[in-house]
Amino acid sequence: MFRDIREHFNCTELIYTSSISSLHAESQHHIADSSRESIFAFSPATRTAIFASVKETFSEFEHWVSDVIFGRARGFRALMTRIGLRALSGIYRTLIQLRKYLYLNDIKTRHHLGTLVISVGNITVGGTGKTPVVELLSRTLRDHRRNVAILSRGYKSKNLTQPQNWTSPDGTKPAPATLPKIVSTGRAILLDSTYAGDEPFMLAMNLDGVAVLVDRKRAKSARFAISELGSDTLILDDGMQFLGIARALDLVLIDSTAPFGTGAMLPAGTLREPKKNLSRANYIILTKSDGSSHEDLIKKIRRYNPAAPIITTTHKPKYLENLETKERLPLDALQGKHIAALSGIAVPEGFENSLVKLGAKLLFPKRFSDHHRFTHREISAFNQRCLERDVEWIVTTEKDAVRYPRLLLGDVPVWFLRIEIEILAGQDHWDHMIHHLCHPPAPEPASNSILRHRHAFRG
């Protein structure tokens, strides 16, 4: 969760970018200092087991803190933790607003890249359904003959052990320091989810003809996309808080089921920015809609942004895909199936409820923290429980499917639920936006160029 703080203020590198990440790092440092000799006296297999156990313990703690912040945890300990975190929220809010002021008043440098840049983001932590929107936007622009590159941080991806081998179009080899992690060139996928991150890898798998690049310094990825891949359209994945790159459009997603998260700022709640910062949005996309009019929500949004077109969408299940055989089945195959749900996402309740609505008999769910990388030990224990409970299928999300250990497939069939974005209202706004992105108006005189840049893409 503190990945937002680190991105805003360039904090020291953390093991995990979340509120408990620092606790994890400090504890591992303490273990390393006080117990190095005793630990390394064990055999390699024993050391591996010890470190795996420590990692799982802190992963469970991370999951608990997430439950505290999202309001799922109850009891005195959870209450006291919330009180402690709330004391820090005011400081965080002040720093966020100061940072915004510095960037928007050109006190801190913003990179102007000379090409079309679109940000897709949100003002809350996790769970708005951003990745399917990025996929739809990228695919639509690609189909309109734009050369698209997606720029991502690659949250919880591992560092490369050695630089990728890349040759420029002119035959030269760029310095390794100038290379981002090249997940996909649009023609070939070059990294797996371990080094790409689950969401960038999933986007690369689903989007032929769209490049996917990962680097915490997204300006570096942008320059590579433009100079090496010939990209003319850059999409900042989760880019609302990344103010270091100027953009033509800010698409801001709001989860219609929990519009402003818990209502409190980080780290006590799930708001990354104050609600009034919705004023920066050029387009607002409501996600996970049940088809209702959302009149009350729209009135609240209009307090902060009276002009941005609002597009209402739903995350629509499409089919099931088997992780081992790649077989696809229609959704009605879930009817009456005794299943277990496996997920490592911010808001697992929505996923689990959708399985029940599709007719599955959910025997039990297994939840991990968002972006959790499953270990063999965890999945083996989960599979054993499934066998004991006579589970017919394990069903997971597409994002979690890319992190599922393939060597453990077989005991119980594992399927993922494919989700796609469907526009319920505001299709005219979406079409208007795409038309203006792909067919921008002719340049105006220099005196009006700044005004045109700010308003050309309004719906």
Range 243-246 contact pairs with CB under 8 angstroms and sequence separation of 24 or more: 243/99, 243/100, 243/103, 243/104, 243/108, 243/110, 244/103, 244/108, 244/109, 244/110, 244/111, 244/218, 244/219, 245/110, 245/111, 245/113, 245/117, 245/218, 245/219, 246/110, 246/111, 246/112, 246/113, 246/117
User: Are 435 and 295 within one domain?
Assistant: yes
Question: Which residues have a Cβ under 8 Å from the Cβ of 3 and sit 6 or more positions away?
Answer: 17, 18, 153, 155
Residue pair 394/412 in contact (Cβ under 8 Å)? The answer is yes
Band (pLDDT 50/70/90 cuts) for residue 17 is very low
Note whether residue 356 is domain-resident. yes
User: Are 373 and 330 within one domain?
Assistant: yes
The residue among 79, 104, 129 that closes a domain is 104
Report the CATH number at residue 160: 3.40.50.300
Angstrom distance (rounded) from CA 173 to CA 60:
44
User: Are 98 and 57 within one domain?
Assistant: yes
Note whether residue 109 is domain-resident. no
User: Are 388 and 263 within one domain?
Assistant: no
In this predicted structure, the answer to whether residue 20 has a pLDDT above a threshold of 90 is no
Structure tokens given for 155 = 């949250």
In this predicted structure, the answer to whether residue 26 has a pLDDT above a threshold of 60 is no
The pLDDT value recorded for residue 56 is 62
- Name the residue range of residue 195's domain: 116-314+422-455
Average pLDDT of span 167-189: 95
User: Are 169 and 121 within one domain?
Assistant: yes
For residue range 221-236, list pLDDT tens digits in order.
999 999 999 999 999 9
Angstrom distance (rounded) from CA 102 to CA 104:
6
In this predicted structure, the answer to whether residue 55 has a pLDDT above a threshold of 70 is no
Angstrom distance (rounded) from CA 71 to CA 367:
15
Note whether residue 110 is domain-resident. no
User: Are 146 and 253 within one domain?
Assistant: yes
Residue pair 178/220 in contact (Cβ under 8 Å)? The answer is yes
Mean pLDDT of the chain, nearest integer: 87
Q: What three-state secondary structure class fits 416?
A: strand
Give the residue, 283 or 106, on which the prediction is more confident: 283
Note whether residue 268 is domain-resident. yes
Residue (of 126, 134, 117) closest to 202 by Cα position? 134
Note whether residue 73 is domain-resident. yes
Provide, for the chain, the percentages of residues in helix, strand and coil under a 3-state DSSP scheme, each rounded to the nearest 5.
40, 20, 40
The residue among 75, 104, 133 that closes a domain is 104
Residue pair 154/200 in contact (Cβ under 8 Å)? The answer is yes
User: Are 323 and 450 within one domain?
Assistant: no
User: Are 291 and 158 within one domain?
Assistant: yes
In this predicted structure, the answer to whether residue 428 has a pLDDT above a threshold of 90 is yes
Angstrom distance (rounded) from CA 249 to CA 457:
7
User: Are 224 and 332 within one domain?
Assistant: no
Question: Which residues have a Cβ under 8 Å from the Cβ of 277 and sit 6 or more positions away?
Answer: 100, 123, 304
- DSSP string of 74-97? -SHHHHHHHHHHHHHHHHHHHHHH
Residue pair 265/82 in contact (Cβ under 8 Å)? The answer is no
Strand duo 338-343 + 328-329: pairing: unpaired
In this predicted structure, the answer to whether residue 31 has a pLDDT above a threshold of 70 is no
> What are the residue ranges of helices labelled H in 154-283?
193-196, 198-206, 218-229
Domain count within the chain: 3
Q: What three-state secondary structure class fits 243?
A: coil
Q: Is the dihedral of CA 337, 339, 342, 348 positive or negative?
A: positive
Strand partners, 116: 233
The pLDDT value recorded for residue 450 is 40
Poorest-confidence range of 55-64, 76-85, 118-127? 55-64
Residue pair 404/396 in contact (Cβ under 8 Å)? The answer is yes
Average pLDDT of span 48-63: 66
Structure tokens given for 219 = 């300006």
Note whether residue 25 is domain-resident. yes
Note whether residue 111 is domain-resident. no
Poorest-confidence range of 273-277, 299-303, 399-403, 405-409? 405-409
Note whether residue 97 is domain-resident. yes
Measured in whole angstroms, the distance separating CA 161 from the mean position of its chain's CA atoms is: 24
User: Are 406 and 447 within one domain?
Assistant: no
User: Are 373 and 429 within one domain?
Assistant: no
Structure tokens given for 324 = 């081992």
Report the CATH number at residue 372: 3.40.50
Report the 10 Å Cβ neighbour count for 192: 14
The pLDDT value recorded for residue 10 is 46
User: Are 347 and 443 within one domain?
Assistant: no
